[in-house]
């Protein structure tokens, strides 16, 4: 039995599966990644757009950049990799947890429900005064910055910037899922951004079968039981071919 066959069988027989996704799963939907040759940080300095200091210095500049990204995200559509994870969740029910580093909301738009968004959601604002989270207006009606519907104060993007803490309880839920899973599936992430990068290792050291889908080698590759050197769509299709889940 080769690694792919073994991975299919382990996934098919598992009752508890934890999934971690990164920018690579949304790339086929037209959303650029951050660190590859055509990534966002090639053309934009993260220190000017994705830190608390940048926002304090020039909130309008930061908001205009996030408004541009928000518009692009809403124009994107979930791809077959997102949809494959929806079918996996439908099969496993409460035994499935999806943890994402992405802020694009595509997993929820695809139909995933058991989702932990570690880095927030770009389609929302968060009040600077009272902490209320609220959906942003439609892009054609949106002139940043937004204002809180509860108290009227200025809202900031509801994303986690470099140097900030994750949303309260989010990493605890992720850690619990990966420590308890039978199979861990890590898709399209560089494995370089902590604390998310540690989740695959937590699962491995807890005895889980570890599957990685990534066209490039990552720090997780040496301990993965199965590394599929494919993009997210191709890798998910390869895993699901013999899995016989309910068809969409």
Residues acting as catalytic residues: 119
> Do the beta carbons of residue 102 and residue 26 sit within 8 Å?
yes
Tell which residue, 229, 196, 208, 1, has the closest CA to residue 102.
196
Place of tokens 């990644």: 33
> Do the beta carbons of residue 155 and residue 146 sit within 8 Å?
yes
Total Cβ atoms within 10 A of residue 124: 19
CA pair distance 56, 50, nearest whole angstrom: 11
CA 119 to chain centre: 8
Burial degree of 4 (CB within 10 A; 0-12, 13-18, 19+): middle
Burial profile 56-86: b = 16 or more Cβ within 10 angstroms, e = fewer: eeebeebbebbbebbeebbebebbbbbbbbb
Cα R_g (the chain), whole angstroms: 18
Region of residue 54 (phi > 0: left; psi between -120 and 50: alpha; otherwise: beta):
alpha
């Amino acid at each position: 039995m080769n690694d792919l066959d073994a991975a299919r069988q382990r996934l098919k027989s598992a009752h508890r599966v934890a999934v971690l996704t990164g920018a690579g799963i949304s790339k086929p939907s037209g959303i650029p990644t951050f660190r590859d040759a055509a990534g966002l940080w090639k053309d934009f300095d993260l220190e000017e757009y994705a830190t608390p200091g940048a926002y304090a210095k020039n909130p309008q500049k930061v908001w205009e950049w996030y408004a541009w990204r928000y518009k692009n995200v809403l124009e994107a559509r979930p791809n077959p990799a997102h949809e494959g994870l929806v079918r996996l969740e439908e099969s496993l029910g409460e035994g499935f947890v999806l943890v994402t580093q992405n802020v694009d909301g595509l997993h929820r738009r695809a139909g995933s429900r058991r989702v932990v968004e570690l880095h927030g959601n770009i389609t929302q604002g968060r009040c600077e005064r009272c902490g209320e989270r609220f959906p942003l207006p439609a892009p054609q009606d949106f002139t940043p910055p937004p204002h809180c519907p509860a108290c009227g104060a200025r809202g900031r993007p509801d994303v986690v910037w470099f140097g900030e803490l994750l949303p309260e309880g989010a990493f605890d839920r992720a850690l619990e899922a990966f420590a308890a899973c039978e199979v861990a599936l890590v898709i399209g992430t560089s494995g370089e951004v902590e604390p998310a990068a540690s989740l695959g290792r937590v699962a491995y050291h807890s005895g889980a079968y570890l599957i990685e889908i990534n066209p490039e080698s990552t720090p997780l590759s040496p301990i993965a039981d199965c590394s599929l050197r494919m993009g997210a769509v191709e890798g998910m299709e390869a895993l699901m071919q013999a899995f016989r889940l309910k068809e969409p």
